[in-house]
Structure 1
Amino acid sequence: MTRKFTPFYRFAARGVLIPFLKLVSRQHVEGLENLPKDGGFIVVANHLTDLDSLTAMRTLVDADIPVYSLAKASLFKVPVVGQVLAAGGQIPVQRGTAHATDALAEAAKRLQEGSCIIIFPEGTLSRDPLKWPMVGKTGAARLAMQSGVPVIPMGQWGAHFILDTYSHHLKVGKRKDVRVKIGPALDLSQYGSDIEDRQKVRECTAEIMSAITRLVEDLRGEKAPRPYDMHYDGDPGKGKIGVRKPDPQN
């Protein structure tokens, strides 16, 4: 199916989102040639600030690709915001309920129809005090294994200089540089399509996160430490940055 913008989506993206981002940032993108020219595909990206979901979407819209994301269902109940998300075709996620898998089923359906789905595999803003990608959750891997569509990694860096992690205060004034790097499609065929195989799903998740982290390393010009792991380092709670524990001894 041909990728098409609905009139509302085109207005919201090109008439509102992109002009706003141009006011606060200078966006630099590498690797656009890695985006599939047709057919459904998944973009997986790091998630450091509420703003980088918008910069990722801008990257794809600028490439003339309408993109759909999985958003917390509670956002669809917020006046105006909810109507905008629904009209833009975004997918609600009922976190922590029996309906949580419904979002992945809808995403899989969209992929088969030729759409682009973006997922932030960490499942939340990074808790890492050093601002590196964390250990990922398994939703992106399960969707990739189940659908068999291309998976394109994306690294982002710089949006947090405009809106920091868990901050609600935009730093306006001089425009900040936001850098995005898109990698080639990942070969995940070795993991098969059995999403009930937990070991394969975990290994696929780790490969996805490693690919994202390598792109962020390129953007930052430094090597990443081990991924922050909320099971090991601890979950500091909603809206809080964690504290790294010493690396486990081998």
Structure 2
Amino acid sequence: MSGWAERVRTWRPAPPPLPDHLEPILRDDDPEWFARELAIAAAPPWWVWLVLLRRFSWLVDLFGRVEVTGSLPEQLRRGPLLLAANHVGDFDPVVVAVALHRLGVVPRIMATGGIITAPVAGPLLERAGAIRVDRGTQLARHAVRVTEVALVHGGHVVAYPEGRVGLDPDGWPERGRTGMARLALGVRVPVIPVSQWGAQEVLQYGNDWGKLRTLARSLVRRPVLRVHVGPPVFMEDLQVGRVGDANRARMRIAAAITRGLVPLRAASRPLHPDPTRPTTGAAAFPGGVVPEDIP
């Protein structure tokens, strides 16, 4: 590899200094990126990220019309937030970031390790506050620690309870895992449901040349990219560590996201077919029907 190519591959923006009070968290066997992400999580939002959100979010509207409903009261925006979103496709983190910024939120989005390790784009995302999640590995616990630090320092963290792009045949949110629920109960921050629909039409699921084809098609079709932000999920009666409460919190979060999704889907075209998308998942609430008596 040439020297120029190697410099591009290894380039990353300089992180902020790690605060002294976070030094005790580090261990000798931690990955090299852990201290860097802790420092970013504890720091105010990166000015470059703010400029991108303020000045260039219109670029997302080239691929679809972003429509945002719901609101976030100022008292919530001033403090830490855990924003729980359904995951419909690879383009939706961009849509969610733009939509939340229009409501006064500067999001820090949880992202897979594969994205964060990509040259140039990965380091930029990390410096902008994205939190690396290495699913299915021992390193996944580091994402929890980084998220906790971000929340303690007033951050607005976007997480996907499903842990992946949803694979329910009809596109309804899956039940997800209990990790986010346990985190919310442990840190005791408001959990805001974020429901979205339409971004799955911009980029297909499969990682092949079809992604470019669907991206180009969206420039012409310009699907409506709908995002709805609901009220906080009620979890004041639940406790971290009490038997069954993590599962109850998980189901309440899935129910809130599903309820917010129903009107978005009703106002949209039928589900756009994507033959590259597996249909092996199961919805938490099939057909979007959420019982009134969620425990």
Q: TM-score range by the shorter chain?
A: 0.7 to 0.9
Residue identity over aligned pairs, in percent, reads 28
Give the one of 110, 115, 134 matched to 2:174. Answer: 134
State whether residues 123 and 136 of structure 1, in contact with CA within 8 Å, keep that contact through their aligned partners in structure 2: yes
Aligned pairs for 1:140-151 within 5 A:
140-151=180-191
Q: Secondary structure, in 3 states, of the residue corresponding to 1:69?
A: strand
Aligned pairs for 1:6-155 within 5 A:
6-16=46-56, 18-34=57-73, 36-155=76-195
Name 2:279's counterpart in structure 1. 241
TM-score normalised over the length of structure 1? 0.82
**Distance in 1 between residues matched to 2:52 and 2:279, nearest whole Å:** 32
Q: Secondary structure, in 3 states, of the residue corresponding to 1:136?
A: coil
**Which amino acid counterpart does residue 20 of structure 1 have in structure 2?**
L
Name 1:207's counterpart in structure 2. 252
**Which amino acid counterpart does residue 94 of structure 2 have in structure 1?**
L
Aligned pairs for 1:147-226 within 5 A:
147-166=187-206, 168=211, 169-170=214-215, 171=217, 172-194=219-241, 197=242, 199-221=244-266
State whether residues 44 and 118 of structure 1, in contact with CA within 8 Å, keep that contact through their aligned partners in structure 2: yes
Deviation, 1:199, is 2.0
The 3 A distance-change label for structure 1 pair 244 and 58 is closer
- In the alignment, structure 2 segments of 5+ residues that lack a partner are 1-42, 268-275, 287-295
**Distance in 2 between residues matched to 1:244 and 1:123, nearest whole Å:** 13
Deviation, 1:14, is 3.4
**Distance in 2 between residues matched to 1:178 and 1:150, nearest whole Å:** 25
Q: Secondary structure, in 3 states, of the residue corresponding to 1:190?
A: coil
**Distance in 2 between residues matched to 1:136 and 1:34, nearest whole Å:** 27
RMSD (Å) for aligned C-alpha atoms: 2.5
**Distance in 2 between residues matched to 1:189 and 1:62, nearest whole Å:** 28
**Distance in 1 between residues matched to 2:144 and 2:281, nearest whole Å:** 31
Deviations 1:17-63 (A, max 9, x none): x1321111111111114572311011101111111111111111223
Q: Greater Rg, structure 1 or structure 2?
A: 2
Q: Which has the larger helix fraction?
A: 2
Structure number with higher relative contact order (C-alpha < 8 Å, ≥ 6 residues apart): 1
